[in-house]
Structure 1
Amino acid sequence: MDHSVQGDRHLRTDAERNRGRILVAARRLYSREGLHVPLARIAAEAQVGKATLNRRFPTRESLLTAVFAEQMERHAAAVAEALAFPDAWEGFIAYVEARCAMQAEGSDFADILTMTFPFAAALEDRRREAYEAYSLLVARAQRTGNLRADFRHEDIVLLFMANAGVVAATSHAAPDAWRRVARQFIRAFAGPGAPVPPLPEPPTRPQMFAAMQRAAPRP
């Protein structure tokens, strides 16, 4: 094999590996510390040089877009699908469960629709559109009387924060435990007499014990 071809492949592999490490590090730091984390911190977290980060992502906007664009589109699609339901309450339930499922699949920012992206104008515009659609979904569901009148956006953020903890603790021992958590919250959000979906079975005692062991702080 031509050594130059082999070298090119090796460089491409290294470049993709570095890109992946940068994105993982950026998600981790953005989740912990917010979007104003210096790029130098992200490079250090990813264990790459600042020049390497700059080659892959020459602007802060390009990095933010790479980290959030796909997730933002999935969230926007979940809201659009929910709004298409003939029954607004059923649409709201579908949205909650879709978002919780995203968390179960991997890293998810619980409050992405209420974050702001001052360094990424296109991403910020998309976030604003998705949030306005979500607000319309909530208003429609409340007008049916099935979503509590005192429901607030903070309530759903609390759900996603709680669900993130459940997913982290149970993903290996009881990977479907999040479904019961989502349904319990839906019941809490329901107004008097609202139809609610049935509860899935809870994790078994051995599954819960394994999850609790995993969640316990290490000595």
Structure 2
Amino acid sequence: MDDPLPQMLRSDARDNRDRVLAAARRLFSERGLGVPMREIARGAEVGPATLYRRFPTKQALVDAAFTDELRACSGIVRDGCADPDPWRGLSTIVRDITELNATNQGFVDAFVSSYPGAVDFTAHRAGMLRALTGLWRRAQQAGALRPDTVVDDLILMIMAGRGLPPDPPALRVAAARRFAALILDSLRASPTTGALPPPARVAHHASTSS
């Protein structure tokens, strides 16, 4: 007969890991990546030793906590870039990413590298920025996007979105949708828009600062 004890131990380990990830996602989402590991352990109702056994570094916990968000973000960019209408594709990306990021402060922190250990985001960031740059140029060539804008402006807006109200969730989503509409209105090509100051190369900073 199979010994039930190892199966119970494996089940307990899975439960502990799931609780740690749930607590990390919640706390990172609410407060960003500065939450101490011990506080995450308390939120998961496990001891610090259990947390560090599953996730020996904060970087490992960040990577595991945001796997789903990173996949969703990559899918949004991929689908928007595949749209034959570059302005429509860019508009979809702006709306969807703004709303996605409004619900998860920690993911935005990791994506723009304000947490220095989030090195596993580097390759994903670089790939998404390359795709966005191509879409950006197509939208400009189509005459839909302001010619004096650069893809760094979108990263700047994502960073600015970190200031959206954190609570309650319904207000956060409503604010994100309003913010996305304002972003798109500012990016749309128009003969009446004034000149912009020189661009801030935040995309390069985001891709290298980790």
Q: Same fold (TM over 0.5)?
A: yes
Equivalent position amino acid for 1:68 in 2: F
Structure 2: gaps of 5 or more residues: 192-210
Q: Residue 136 of structure 1: SS of its match in structure 2?
A: helix
Taking structure 1 as the reference length, the TM-score comes to 0.63
Distance in 2 (CA, whole Å) between partners of 1:120 and 1:111 is 9
Q: CA separation of 1:170/1:117 partners in 2, compared to 1, >3 Å: closer, same or farther?
A: closer
Aligned position for 1:54: 52
Q: CA separation of 1:152/1:131 partners in 2, compared to 1, >3 Å: closer, same or farther?
A: same
Whether 1:96 aligns to 2:103 is no
Taking structure 2 as the reference length, the TM-score comes to 0.66
Q: Offset of 1:78 from its aligned partner? A: 1.0
Aligned position for 1:185: 183
Q: Offset of 1:79 from its aligned partner? A: 1.1
Equivalent position amino acid for 1:151 in 2: T
Deviation per CA, 1:117-173, whole angstroms, max 9, x where unpaired?
Answer: 875665432222122112222222122221112223443244335545445356345
Whether 1:42 aligns to 2:37 is yes
Q: Offset of 1:4 from its aligned partner? A: 6.3
Whether 1:171 aligns to 2:169 is yes
Distance in 2 (CA, whole Å) between partners of 1:120 and 1:144 is 36
Distance in 2 (CA, whole Å) between partners of 1:150 and 1:170 is 36
Query: Pairwise mapping of residues 78-157 of structure 1 onto structure 2 (< 5 A)?
Result: 78-107=76-105, 109-110=107-108, 113-115=111-113, 123-157=121-155
Deviation per CA, 1:174-215, whole angstroms, max 9, x where unpaired?
Answer: 85453233222211111116xxxxxxxxxxxxxxxxxxxxxx
Higher relative contact order structure (alpha carbons within 8 Å, sequence separation ≥ 6): 2
Distance in 2 (CA, whole Å) between partners of 1:170 and 1:28 is 11
Query: Pairwise mapping of residues 61-76 of structure 1 onto structure 2 (< 5 A)?
Result: 61-76=59-74
Q: Residue 147 of structure 2: SS of its match in structure 1?
A: coil
What is the root-mean-square deviation of aligned Cα atoms in Å? 3.8
| Residue correspondences, number | 185
